[in-house]
Amino acid sequence: EVQLLESGGGLVQPGGSLRLSCAASGFVFSAYAMTWVRQAPGKGLEWVSGLSGSGERTYYGDSVKGRLTVSRDNSKNTLYLQMNSLRDEDTAVYYCAKERDDSGGYYIDFWGQGTLVTVSS
Amino acid sequence: QSVLTQPPSASGTPGQRVTISCSGSSSNIGSNYVNWYQQLPGAAPKLLIHSNSQRPSGVPDRFSGSKSGTSASLAISGLQSGDEADYYCAAWDDSLNGYVFGTGTKVTVL
């Protein structure tokens, strides 16, 4: 059974930093690209960042480029999101998710339960 | 800022059929597969339909997806109270080089 467990969320002041972690189990972690998706309170879903299985290729949404960095440690089956220069508008639940990209195209097939990041003074 | 447009709400009585539309462009829906996610209140999203019309194991056949040109739709037949949720379409966007979601549709069972 695929399980994704996020941690590291919390309250941070504007301009501050935070690192989110996502512990994965139930599949061969290194074989799959992973992604982060966020959801501001009462709002829709926003794709934030993606990372290939090897960690060599990264992708970022325009709103977070230069401030958020995605990485992974395949020996620990863990995905990370380093968040710097945080802004009020970064307040959201951050979901870790597993990607699929095959003959059926690209999609997210499993999601974690999310971790809340609140940026406020 | 969503690039895929959905109606904000849809509703029906138990047993009815409800359809949700998703409008995009040539760089996303027009050239890539469409996926649909269901988000029950207070829960994480769940994959409902992938590759335009494929249901993952465990998803009832009451849910069906289709795509035509730069638009897609999700149909829910035999509507049940447990279907009350937010529904999001999504697709890869070749111009943005990222995954884009729809604006979301809240389905209410009357």
Would you say residue B1 has pLDDT above 70? Answer: no
The pLDDT value recorded for residue A75 is 97
Which residue type, as a one-letter code, is found at position A102? D
**Cα gap A71→A61, rounded to integer Å:** 15
Q: Which of A106, A107, A111 sits opposite B44 (nearest CB)?
A: A111
Tell me which residue of A85, A105, A108 sits closest to A96, measured CA to CA: A108
Query: For residue range B63-102, what is the model confidence (pLDDT) as tens digits?
Result: 999 999 999 999 999 999 999 999 999 999 999 999 999 9
| Region A17-24 average pLDDT | 98
| Region A105-120 average pLDDT | 96
Measured in angstroms, the CA of A104 and the nearest CA of chain B are apart by 5
List the single best residue of B99, B100, B106 to mutate versus A (max A Cβ within 10 A).
Answer: B99
The pLDDT value recorded for residue A103 is 82
- Residue B91's beta-bridge partner residues? B34, B100
Would you say residue A3 has pLDDT above 70? Answer: yes
The pLDDT value recorded for residue A105 is 84
Q: What percent of chain B has pLDDT over 70?
A: 99
The answer to whether the CB atoms of B88 and A45 lie below 8 A apart is yes
Q: Cα–Cα distances in Å, from A84 out to A50, A59, A121? A: 17, 17, 15
A-B C-beta contacts closer than 8 Å: 71
Measured in angstroms, the CA of B36 and the nearest CA of chain A are apart by 9
Query: For residue range A46-85, what is the model confidence (pLDDT) as tens digits?
Result: 999 999 999 999 999 999 999 999 999 999 999 999 999 9
| Region A18-36 average pLDDT | 97
